[in-house]
């Protein structure tokens, strides 16, 4: 036995100091391998639509309904199954309503708790008792464990079982127990959540989405383009800060920054009124929800919208000029403006400008901030850097997130793998060295983390600029277009200039050899490997399918955001991966929580079985299963060392106190 192996086994012996301890753990781990694989839930492109996100999260994309149906079948009516489902989704709101309308609450509690116990037993059956115990709410841990493990049909336990429920009702704790069971069922039905990018922008409450994700028991996040520049803003990149404010203004969401995050926008408002008070700002009208917006607020916000947009173009121009390796010189447009003619030259062609009022631009140096603009940006930068809630959310994105993830045989990412027309991976210059495929993802992610965490000023600045690069460079995996035509959309009427040509990746999705090449690049192969891709709105009303390349590629952005729904015709795709296979759900728009509670209305979901496994998958078939098998091998080596006398059994109590 090599010294390193012996050292490791001696270290392991501190945790398992006897033959009995090591053997017991082997038995435990081997048994876990035979349990059914936990259910994974995939959601993407939430875009701040908190209510719809919450509802899909609560119903597990139909997983709760399927669990109820499997448990009760025709034993109870469709109306009763619908009522129990709504109760599980929204227990607090439902209990408030039921307490007002139900005449015999004691009978209702008994029937409902019995049904919840059955559903909970079914949901917990794929886990160890230890894992279930850890999920139990503290206030009811003993009661729920007894109700889940007891057997009401056994005569010796029937009275004991019934008395627990009677005592809970008698002590006035039944409502709280119902709520606790509902929360536990949701926790157990879905074991792990994947968010495949774009939590922020368009919708009004990404901050509440982030709060929910931070409270979730098990989650990972693949960064989307709309997440990355928020991360850049929190790191202090001023171009990213401008983008955050501009897009928030465009969608009428400045309240998110001021009220949701407590960021002071008064310096920007004062500056905007000073510079653009007499300007109609007609190119900067807001795309807001009229019922939620005051016209007077819109008047000011349009001026702030224009002010921050001009500052953004200046700051982005500075980054482009400082980094010729980004190959974005074609996006330097302020210096292509002929203010006397009222035109701008884009890629060699001249176009009339819709707006020629630029009081802060020095035409001798168009990318320089005016003193007032520099002062505004200094104040905004400090506000973003010192915003405790935003920093907490962004640290969570860095901790739980990444540009891609390989998980249980699936490759998850938002956007695309940059490719050439022939299907080869595009080589991209990142600070003087070229990268492609997986290496490109890895180096960009490494610099992104430096942009937030590094204490070396040069490395931190490079990382901050990479966060902006990831947001809008033509070779960014999460953007994947030849250019971002923000300037053209504001200032040029000719719509041909608004076109953003997609990366060849999007035209090669049906070629199986291309998809297989991507999977192999990230270490995956075989018929059960899939790419799960966010970012791409699927136009269902035009007959587009989210299932591509014979099921190897699944696109699950179908229009969660209300801003996309007129284009896609639906309100989003989500995916469930359980021990029986993959199930895709297409959702209709969600109306409101109030309607769901009062009328029992649910999101109408159309499920499509993407793949059904021949043999039910177990923990042994997962990444965690592979790790458990390695642990078993290590423990078996420890057992052999004990029995060979290479390592001497220790005193268990002493080792536990070590």
pLDDT digits (tens, 9 = 90+) for 353-364: 999 999 999 999
Per-residue model confidence (pLDDT) at position 564: 61
H or E stretch covering 477: none
Q: What is the mean pLDDT of the chain?
A: 90
Q: Does residue 153 carry a pLDDT above 70?
A: no
- Whole-angstrom Cα Rg for the chain: 28
Per-residue model confidence (pLDDT) at position 202: 87
394 close to 227: Cβ distance less than 8 angstroms: no
225 close to 198: Cβ distance less than 8 angstroms: yes
Selected residue with higher pLDDT from 57 and 293:
57
Helix then strand then coil, in percent of the chain rounded to 5, is 55, 10, 30
Find tokens 């049906």 and name the residue: 510
Selected residue with higher pLDDT from 496 and 60:
496
pLDDT band (50, 70, 90) for residue 593: confident
Per-residue model confidence (pLDDT) at position 657: 44
Integer CA distances (angstroms), 74 to 62, 78, 131, 279, in order: 18, 8, 31, 67
Question: Model pTM?
Answer: 0.92
Per-residue model confidence (pLDDT) at position 549: 86
Per-residue model confidence (pLDDT) at position 541: 59
Task: Tell me the C-alpha distance between 510 and 505, whole Å.
Answer: 10
pLDDT band (50, 70, 90) for residue 191: very high
Q: Does residue 224 carry a pLDDT above 60?
A: yes
Task: Tell me the C-alpha distance between 193 and 209, whole Å.
Answer: 13
Task: Tell me the C-alpha distance between 509 and 513, whole Å.
Answer: 10
Mean pLDDT of all residues in 460-488: 96
Task: Tell me the C-alpha distance between 412 and 416, whole Å.
Answer: 10
Integer CA distances (angstroms), 266 to 53, 184, 201, 286, 638, in order: 31, 44, 21, 19, 65
Q: Does residue 147 carry a pLDDT above 70?
A: yes
Task: Tell me the C-alpha distance between 428 and 475, whole Å.
Answer: 7
Q: Does residue 545 carry a pLDDT above 80?
A: no
pLDDT band (50, 70, 90) for residue 288: low
Task: Tell me the C-alpha distance between 69 and 119, whole Å.
Answer: 10
Selected residue with higher pLDDT from 654 and 363:
363
Mean pLDDT of all residues in 312-338: 97
Task: Tell me the C-alpha distance between 70 and 600, whole Å.
Answer: 20
* Structure tokens that stand for 529 in this block: 């490997």
Q: What percent of the chain has pLDDT over 70?
A: 89
Per-residue model confidence (pLDDT) at position 542: 66
Q: Does residue 466 carry a pLDDT above 80?
A: yes
Task: Render pLDDT for 491-540 as a digit per residue (tens, 0 to 9).
Answer: 999 999 999 999 999 999 889 999 999 999 999 998 889 999 987 766 66
* Structure tokens that stand for 105 in this block: 């609450």
Task: Tell me the C-alpha distance between 183 and 380, whole Å.
Answer: 40
Q: Does residue 609 carry a pLDDT above 90?
A: no
Task: Tell me the C-alpha distance between 178 and 184, whole Å.
Answer: 10
Q: Does residue 5 carry a pLDDT above 90?
A: no
Task: Tell me the C-alpha distance between 189 and 473, whole Å.
Answer: 40
Per-residue model confidence (pLDDT) at position 62: 84
Per-residue model confidence (pLDDT) at position 309: 98
Mean pLDDT of all residues in 459-486: 96
Residues pairing with 411 in the sheet: 406, 531
Find tokens 């199930």 and name the residue: 583
Within 8 A by CB and 6+ apart from 174, the residues are 105, 109, 113, 168
What are the backbone dihedrals phi and psi of residue 428, each rounded to the nearest 5 degrees, phi first?
A: -120, 130
Pick from 201, 243, 206, 235: nearest CA to 466: 235
Q: Which burial class, exposed, middle or buried, applies to 57 when counting CB atoms under 10 A from its CB (0-12, 13-18, 19+)?
A: buried
Find tokens 């005592």 and name the residue: 167
Q: Does residue 654 carry a pLDDT above 50?
A: no
DSSP string computed for 2-36? -HHHHHHHHHHHHHS-SHHHHHHHHHHHHHHHTSB
List, in sequence order, every beta strand (DSSP E) within 89-148: none
Q: How many helices (H) and strands (E) does the chain have?
A: 27, 17
Per-residue model confidence (pLDDT) at position 293: 62
Mean pLDDT of all residues in 185-204: 93
203 close to 562: Cβ distance less than 8 angstroms: yes
Per-residue model confidence (pLDDT) at position 527: 83
């Amino acid at each position: 036995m090599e010294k390193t192996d012996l050292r490791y086994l001696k270290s392991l012996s501190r945790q398992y100091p006897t033959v009995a301890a090591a053997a017991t753990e082997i038995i435990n781990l081997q048994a876990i391998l035979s349990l059914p694989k936990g259910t994974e839930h995939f959601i993407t492109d939430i875009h701040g639509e908190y209510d719809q996100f919450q509802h899909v999260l609560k119903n597990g994309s139909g997983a709760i309904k399927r669990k109820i149906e499997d448990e009760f079948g025709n034993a109870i009516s469709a109306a009763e199954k619908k009522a129990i489902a709504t109760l599980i989704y929204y227990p607090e709101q439902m209990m408030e309503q039921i307490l007002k309308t139900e005449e015999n609450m004691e009978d209702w509690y008994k029937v409902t708790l019995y049904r919840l116990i059955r559903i909970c037993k079914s949901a917990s059956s794929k886990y160890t008792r230890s894992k279930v115990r850890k999920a139990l709410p503290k206030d009811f841990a003993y009661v729920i464990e007894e109700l889940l493990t007891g057997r009401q049909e056994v005569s010796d336990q029937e009275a004991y079982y019934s008395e627990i429920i009677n005592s809970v009702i008698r002590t006035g704790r039944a409502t709280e127990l119902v709520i606790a069971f509902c929360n536990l069922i949701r926790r157990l039905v879905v074991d792990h959540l994947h968010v495949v990018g774009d939590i922020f922008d368009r919708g009004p409450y990404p901050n509440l989405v982030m709060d929910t994700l931070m409270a979730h028991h098990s989650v990972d996040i693949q960064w989307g383009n709309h997440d990355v520049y928020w991360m850049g803003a929190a790191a202090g990149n001023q171009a990213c800060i401008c983008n955050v404010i501009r897009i928030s203004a465009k969608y009428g969401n400045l309240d998110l920054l001021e009220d949701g995050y407590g960021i002071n926008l008064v310096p920007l408002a004062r500056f905007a009124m000073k510079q653009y008070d007499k300007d109609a700002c007609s190119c900067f009208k807001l795309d807001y929800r009229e019922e939620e917006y005051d016209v007077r607020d819109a008047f000011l916000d349009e001026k702030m919208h224009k002010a921050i947009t001009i500052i953004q173009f200046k700051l982005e121009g500075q980054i482009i000029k400082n980094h010729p390796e980004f190959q974005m010189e074609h996006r330097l447009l302020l210096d292509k403006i002929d203010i006397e003619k009222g035109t701008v030259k884009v890629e060699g062609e001249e176009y009339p400008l819709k707006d020629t009022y630029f009081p802060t631009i020095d035409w001798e140096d168009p990318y320089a901030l005016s003193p007032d603009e520099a002062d505004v940006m200094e104040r905004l930068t400090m506000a973003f850097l010192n915003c405790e809630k935003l920093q907490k959310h962004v640290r969570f994105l860095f901790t739980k997130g990444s540009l891609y993830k390989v998980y249980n045989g699936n490759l998850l990412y938002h956007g695309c793998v940059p490719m050439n027309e022939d299907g080869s991976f595009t080589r991209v210059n990142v600070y003087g060295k070229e990268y492609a495929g997986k290496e490109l993802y890895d180096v960009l992610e490494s610099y992104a983390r430096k942009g937030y965490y590094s204490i070396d000023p040069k490395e931190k600045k490079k990382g901050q600029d990479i966060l902006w690069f990831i947001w809008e460079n033509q070779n960014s995996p999460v953007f994947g277009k030849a250019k971002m035509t923000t300037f053209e959309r504001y200032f040029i009427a000719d719509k041909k200039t608004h076109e953003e040509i997609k990366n060849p990746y999007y035209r090669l999705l049906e070629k199986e050899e291309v998809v297989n090449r991507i999977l192999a690049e990230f270490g995956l192969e075989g018929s059960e490997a899939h790419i799960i891709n966010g970012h791409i709105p699927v136009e269902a009303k035009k007959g587009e399918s989210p299932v591509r390349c014979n099921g190897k590629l699944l696109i699950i952005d179908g229009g969660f955001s209300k801003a996309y729904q007129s284009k896609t015709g639906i309100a989003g795709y989500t995916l469930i991966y359980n021990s029986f296979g993959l199930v895709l759900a297409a959702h209709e728009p969600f109306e409101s929580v109030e309607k769901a509670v009062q009328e029992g209305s649910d999101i109408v979901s159309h499920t499509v079985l993407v793949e059904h496994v021949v043999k039910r998958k177990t923990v042994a078939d997962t990444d965690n299963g592979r790790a458990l098998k390695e642990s078993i091998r290590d423990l078996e080596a420890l057992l052999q060392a004990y029995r060979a006398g290479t390592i001497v059994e220790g005193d268990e109590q002493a080792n536990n106190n070590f």
